[in-house]
C-alpha cells in the first residue's frame, strides 16, 4: 500500500502565513484610505495651531506622569521582592501610581474640552454626526484630541505634533482687498425687515469713550469660532488676526457671543457705553464666522480702538442668530 508523502510542518506553516498575508494585502487594497478630521471638518490653519498646542501641552504632562509611573513601578517591584515585603511603602507607591494615572486622565479631559472649544457650531454638529455614524478616521493628533476616550489614552501613545508657525499680529485695514480668496462673498441678510427688540436703547451715534464693541450679526448666519474677524465689504480685515496667549483664548475667546441685545449689554465685557454697529453681511466660504461692517462703521471702530483700546482689550461682542 503506497503512502502519500506528508508535507513538512515548516513548509505548511509558511504556506498558511503566506495566504494570510495575501488576504490582508487584498483587503488593504480594497479598503478606501481613511480620511483625516482636518478634511472632514474643514479645519483651518488657525484652528490647527490651537489644536497642536493643546496636544503638545497634554503630551508633555502625560510624558512627565508616565515617567513618574515607570519609576514608581520599579520601586514597587523592589519593595514587593523584599523579605518581608515593605507593606507601608507598597501602599504608598500604589497610591502615587494611581494619582499619576488620574492626573493623566484629568489632563486629557481638560485638553479634549479645550479642543471642542476650538470648533465652531457647524463643526461640532458634523463631528457628532460622524461619530454617531461610526465613521472611521485617520489616526492623527486631531483624532487623538477630538475623538479618543480616556480609556484609549492608556492603550496607545499619541501621535507627535508637527511644528506650525505662530499666528502673527497684523493690521490689515486699510490694506488691499482679499483678491486671493475665491470663497470670499458677502452674504445678505435672511430677513431684511428692521428688527424691533424690547431692550435698552442706545443711540446710533453714541459718544465715547467706549467700553466695548457690539456687532449685531443677526440674520446673516454668522457662526461661532475661535478666530472670528471683522471685515469690510471688499474683504479687507478690520480686526481679528491677533497675537494673544492661546490659554486665554481657549478659556475666554477673543469675542463673546450673545443671542439678544439684552444679553450683550449684560455681558461682563460690555461695560456702560458700548459702541454698537449693525453688520451688513457675512464673509462666506467654509467658515461663516466673519462679520462684515460698512466702511463708515469700520472707521468708527478703528477710531474708538485708537482712543479706548476696545479691540486691543478684546472687548468685543457678536450678537448671533438664536440657532447659532
Task: Quote the pLDDT of residue 42.
Answer: 85
Is the pTM higher than 0.95? The answer reads no
Task: Quote the pLDDT of residue 85.
Answer: 80
Q: Is the peptide bond before 162 cis (omega within 30 degrees of 0)?
A: no
Alpha carbon 266 to chain centroid, angstroms: 27
270 compared with 50, residue with greater pLDDT = 270
169 compared with 266, residue with greater pLDDT = 266
Dihedral angle over CA of 18, 20, 21, 26, nearest 10 = 130
Range scoring the smallest mean pLDDT among 7-21, 62-76, 138-152: 7-21
Range scoring the smallest mean pLDDT among 16-30, 81-95, 115-129, 216-230: 16-30
183-200 average pLDDT score: 51
Q: How far is CA 278 from CA 80, 207, 214, 317, in A?
A: 71, 16, 8, 12
| Mean of the per-residue pLDDT values of the chain | 76
Task: Quote the pLDDT of residue 21.
Answer: 63
> In the predicted model, is pLDDT for residue 177 greater than 80?
no
**Half-sphere exposure of 319 toward its Cβ, with a 13 Å CA cutoff?**
23
Task: Quote the pLDDT of residue 176.
Answer: 42
> In the predicted model, is pLDDT for residue 81 greater than 60?
yes
Residue labelled with grid coordinates 482679499:
178
d(CA 142, CA 36): 8
316: β partners: 213
> In the predicted model, is pLDDT for residue 183 greater than 70?
no
pLDDT tens digit string along 155-167? 444 444 433 333 3
**Half-sphere exposure of 280 toward its Cβ, with a 13 Å CA cutoff?**
11
pLDDT tens digit string along 31-47? 567 788 888 888 887 78
> In the predicted model, is pLDDT for residue 277 greater than 60?
yes
Cβ atoms of 69 and 122 within 8 Å: the answer is no
Q: What are the counts of helices (DSSP H) followed by strands (DSSP E) for the chain?
A: 10, 9
> In the predicted model, is pLDDT for residue 64 greater than 70?
yes
Amino acid at each position: 500500500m503506497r503512502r502519500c508523502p506528508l508535507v513538512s510542518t515548516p513548509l505548511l506553516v509558511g504556506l498558511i502565513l503566506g495566504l494570510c498575508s495575501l488576504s490582508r494585502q487584498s483587503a488593504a487594497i480594497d479598503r478606501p484610505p481613511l480620511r483625516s478630521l482636518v478634511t472632514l471638518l474643514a479645519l483651518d490653519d488657525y484652528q490647527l495651531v490651537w489644536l497642536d498646542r493643546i496636544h503638545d501641552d497634554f503630551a508633555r504632562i502625560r510624558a512627565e506622569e508616565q515617567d513618574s509611573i515607570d519609576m514608581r513601578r520599579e520601586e514597587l517591584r523592589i519593595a514587593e521582592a523584599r523579605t518581608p515585603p515593605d507593606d507601608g511603602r507598597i501602599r504608598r507607591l500604589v497610591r502615587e501610581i494611581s494619582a499619576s494615572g488620574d492626573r493623566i486622565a484629568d489632563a486629557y479631559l481638560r485638553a479634549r474640552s479645550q479642543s471642542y472649544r476650538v470648533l465652531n457650531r457647524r463643526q461640532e454638529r458634523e463631528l457628532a454626526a460622524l461619530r454617531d455614524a461610526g465613521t472611521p478616521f485617520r489616526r492623527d493628533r486631531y483624532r487623538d484630541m477630538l475623538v479618543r476616550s480616556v480609556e484609549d489614552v492608556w492603550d496607545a501613545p499619541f501621535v507627535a505634533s508637527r511644528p506650525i508657525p505662530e499666528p502673527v499680529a497684523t493690521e490689515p485695514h486699510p490694506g488691499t482687498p482679499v483678491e486671493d480668496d475665491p470663497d470670499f462673498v458677502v452674504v445678505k441678510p435672511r430677513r431684511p425687515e428692521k428688527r424691533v427688540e424690547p431692550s435698552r436703547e442706545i443711540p446710533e451715534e453714541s459718544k465715547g469713550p467706549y467700553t466695548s464693541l457690539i456687532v449685531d450679526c443677526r440674520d446673516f448666519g454668522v457662526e461661532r469660532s475661535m478666530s472670528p474677524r471683522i471685515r469690510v465689504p471688499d474683504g479687507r480685515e478690520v480686526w481679528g488676526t491677533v497675537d494673544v496667549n492661546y490659554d486665554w483664548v481657549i478659556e475666554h475667546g477673543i469675542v463673546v457671543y450673545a443671542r439678544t441685545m439684552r444679553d450683550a449689554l449684560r455681558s461682563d465685557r460690555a461695560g456702560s457705553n458700548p459702541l454698537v454697529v449693525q453688520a451688513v453681511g457675512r464673509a462666506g466660504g467654509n467658515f461663516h464666522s466673519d462679520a462684515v461692517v460698512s466702511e463708515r462703521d469700520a472707521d468708527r471702530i478703528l477710531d474708538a480702538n485708537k482712543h479706548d483700546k476696545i479691540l486691543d482689550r478684546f472687548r468685543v461682542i457678536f450678537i448671533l442668530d438664536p440657532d447659532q
